[in-house]
Each structure stands twice: as C-alpha cells, then as structure tokens.
Amino acid sequence: MLQFDVSNALPFLPKNWLSSRLDGLINAWNLLERGNGQGGEFTGWVHLPENYDPEELSRLLQTARIIRDQSQVLVVIGIGGSYLGARAVLELLTSPNYNLFCKDTPQIFFTGNTLSSDALNELLDYVRDKDFSVNMISKSGSTTESSIAFLLFRQLLEEKYGRAGARDRIFVTTDRHEGHLRALANQEGYATFSVPASIGGRYSVLTAAGLLPLAVAGLPVQELLDGAAEAMGYLRTPGQDNPAWQYAAARHALYESGKNIELLACYEPSFRFFGEWWKQLFGESEGKDGQGIFPASVEFTADLHSMGQYIQEGERDLFETVVRFAIPSSSCLLNPKPGDRSGLEYLRGKDLRFVNEQARRGTALAHADGGVPNLLLTAQERTAHWVGQLIYFFEYSCGLSGYLLGVNPFNQPGVEAYKKNMFALLGKPGYEERRKILDSRR
C-alpha cells in the first residue's frame, strides 16, 4: 500500500485540517462512486482497473507483438491525455533513454504534440529509411496537432509501403463510434482500439491510449492494471486513514492558507514525464472558475541547483509533494581511494541510494524550515505494480480534490479558447465572424 506522510506539513496546517473536511470528502466520495456529480458521465476510470475487458487486453497484447515484429520504430501520435500517460509510464518504468537502450523492442517516439515543422520533419527524416508503424491516438479524432502529424506520417507510410502496406502499419485508438478518425479508420480498414466514452483524456492512461504503446515496449501492462486494481481496493474505502482523502484534504487546507502552487518532486530522473502527466491531470481538472492550485514539477536533485534558491527563499506560496521509491532498482557503491583528492572520502563505503535518500531528507527539512510544507508519498519500488497504484492514487485524489473545491473535475472548457482563435486565423469554415473580431483587434 502507498504510504502518505504529512508530518513535514503539519506545522502549516490547522489542527482540524482533516476532520473539518470530512463532510466535503464524504460528499466528493459519494459523487465519484455514484457518478452523479458534475461531469459524472466521465467517471468510467473509477472502476476501470477491475473491469478491463480481457478480450480487448488479449487483442491489444497480440497487436503489440505484431507491431514489435514488423517495426524498428513505433511513432505514437497524440497530445495531452492521448500522449502524456504513455510517455510517463514508459520513461518511469524504463528510462528517459529508452530509445538508446531498447534491444528487442522498437524505438518509440511521441509526436502529434506540436505544430513545429522542425520537430515533425526531424522525426519524418529519421523514420524514412526505417521500418515503422504508427499508433494514432485521439479520443475526439479531430485534434489539430495530432491530425496534422497523422496526415504526414500516413502519407510517408503510403509512399513507402503502398496503401495496403500502410494499412497493416496503422493502429488507431479513438472513440468507439464517433469522430472523423473513427470514420477514416473504418473506411481504410485500420486496426482500432477504443477509449471508452466515459473516460476523459487525462484519465485514460489505463485504456488502450496508454496500454498499447506500453505493451509494444514490452512492459507488463497486466501488472500495471493489477497495481491500479489493488489501489482501487484501499482508496475507494472511505475514512480518515485513506491516503487519497489525506492528500486531498492536506492540499485543500494548504491552498486555503495561501499555498497556491504545488511542486511535484521526485529524486528519480525517470519520473520527469510522470510529473508532466500529473500537471495535466490536476491543472485541467482543478484550474477553472478562477480557482485551483497551480501544478508544477521539479526533478531533484538537478533542480535544487536551479530552482532550489526560489523554493527555499522566494515567495512563500508553495508546497511540495514528493514521490519516493523506497527501494531503488539498483545500487552503486562509492569507493574513493584514500588520498585521491575527490573530496568524497567521507562517503567511502556508502551506497549512492543512501546518499540520494539523505539528500531527500535534508531537503524536506530545509524546505519545511524555509516555509515550504512537504507532503511525502512512498511507493516501495519503481515497478509496474507500484506505478499502477500511483496512477490510481493521483486520479482518485484528483477527483476528490476537484469536488472538494466545488469544480467539475472532468471538463476542460478553457482549452477551447485558443483553438477557436487559431481556427479563425487559419480560415477554417465556420469561424468567419470570429476572424472579423480578431482582425479588428490587431
């Protein structure tokens, strides 16, 4: 079970930080469990880990094998919730350098998350002379960034392999019935997987949106689901001991006391994209109606040498949530020779995992002393089982937190504003009136 420790935040919290929020938490819990709160139609993820369709999973694993056998590279196209979860788990369970070290599995590149011609051309050039496949992921099937990337990579596949050959290399993950992409996939006969209508993008990492690329990388997706199912067992049980209730209550109390920014930190570089996934999860779920904690992430100890000064002594509107893996996957003994002038003689015989842990402890105490409350979440190991638990923990806490704040944690109306302007400026039919308004403002 994940361990949540609030002790380095207690000096900043009122005594009743948890008890005074129990009514709110019970209400939030009811809304999540019954799916009858705001956005309740998007709570399919609550039961997903134990409801996963075994036939779909077995087809997914079989498809992953086909992709592995026929590809040196898998190009995963998607943005936001159709991108960050897969990348987060891939890097956390392997390494940010997966593409350098993968041996029996294809390299995996993520695109469709940019409109940069430089970035797209770079990847198009890289795969041009390689055997590659494409997994296009878009729930709506109409997201501009992903659609443009899909157009370009589909054209390249058709140039290389012909239309029939391309068909065998395109794998589409989208809504079961709706959208342009579904229609195109049906027309062209592409293999498809679906994102359930009841699961929004940022909660979809445990659907095919995340699981297919992860299975291609050879990761044990069943263990990920089992870990999430285990977390589901203890996190859906109401009560003050529930770590998701404690996390939601602590961050809500800190927010009320003026801590507007939450820094998610970890001492493993492979966690970086998990932080990106988490930022979308909480930012898009809570940041609305003029409210919400601003989610940011840092990688320690690297960022202690860039952001450390600000965290220690800047504006006091921050709190930190540190994710810790208690048992590192590997060890590294330090053995400076006597007199080698490394200045590290005092570390002789120590393991680097011990050094990293003391850095974490020292930093937590320094930051708390400097006015930055610290929340600590401990997973035992950096394995699929524990990462599955972390995913479910943050998803469930996020649902609770949104309802505690009084917002709809499952919509993202604000994301449309830039799109409407961009479409108007690009001359998309239907946006003529907005175009006139924008032109008059220049």
The contact set with ligand PA5 (CB under 6 A) reads: 79-82, 138-140, 143, 146, 200-202, 284, 412
Q: Which is nearer to ligand PA5, 415 or 425 (CB)?
A: 415
Closest distance between ligand PA5 and the C-beta of residue 93, in Å? 21
Q: Which is nearer to ligand PA5, 243 or 399 (CB)?
A: 399
Of these residues, 256, 419, 432, 436, which one is catalytic? Answer: 419
The answer to whether 305 is a known catalytic residue is yes
Cβ neighbors of 303 (< 8 A, separation 6 or more) are 265
**Separation in Å, CA 304 to CA 216, 359, 366, 377, 416:** 35, 10, 12, 19, 36
Q: Which is nearer to ligand PA5, 148 or 355 (CB)?
A: 148
Q: Are 205 and 86 in contact (CB under 8 A)?
A: yes
Q: Which of 193, 186, 395 is nearest to 278 (CA)?
A: 395
Q: Which residue is nearest to ligand PA5 (CB)?
A: 201
Of these residues, 15, 55, 103, 305, which one is catalytic? Answer: 305
Instruction: Report how far residue 132's alpha carbon sits from residue 113's, in angstroms, rounded to the nearest whole number.
Output: 19
Closest distance between ligand PA5 and the C-beta of residue 80, in Å? 3
The answer to whether 337 is a known catalytic residue is no
Query: Parallel, antiparallel, or unpaired for β 132-137 and 191-194?
Result: unpaired
Query: Parallel, antiparallel, or unpaired for β 107-111 and 73-77?
Result: parallel
Cβ neighbors of 439 (< 8 A, separation 6 or more) are none
Tokens read off for 325: 């893996």
Closest distance between ligand PA5 and the C-beta of residue 254, in Å? 25
At which residue do the structure tokens 């704040």 appear? 405
Of these residues, 91, 262, 276, 284, which one is catalytic? Answer: 284
Q: Which is nearer to ligand PA5, 262 or 284 (CB)?
A: 284
Closest distance between ligand PA5 and the C-beta of residue 370, in Å? 34
Closest distance between ligand PA5 and the C-beta of residue 346, in Å? 48
Q: Which is nearer to ligand PA5, 4 or 193 (CB)?
A: 193
Q: Which is nearer to ligand PA5, 81 or 402 (CB)?
A: 81
Q: Which is nearer to ligand PA5, 80 or 388 (CB)?
A: 80
Query: Parallel, antiparallel, or unpaired for β 374-381 and 3-5?
Result: antiparallel
The answer to whether 55 is a known catalytic residue is no
End-to-end CA, the chain? 56
Closest distance between ligand PA5 and the C-beta of residue 199, in Å? 9
Closest distance between ligand PA5 and the C-beta of residue 351, in Å? 40
Tell me: cis bond preceding 105? Omega within 30 of 0 counts: no
Q: Are 109 and 80 in contact (CB under 8 A)?
A: no
**Distance, C-alpha 166 to centroid of its chain:** 30
Question: Considering Cα of 323, then 324, then 330, then 333, what sign does the dihedral take?
Answer: positive
Instruction: Report how far residue 18's alpha carbon sits from residue 253's, in angstroms, rounded to the nearest whole number.
Output: 8
Instruction: Report how far residue 424's alpha carbon sits from residue 46's, in angstroms, rounded to the nearest whole number.
Output: 37
Q: Point out the residues that are catalytic.
A: 284, 305, 419
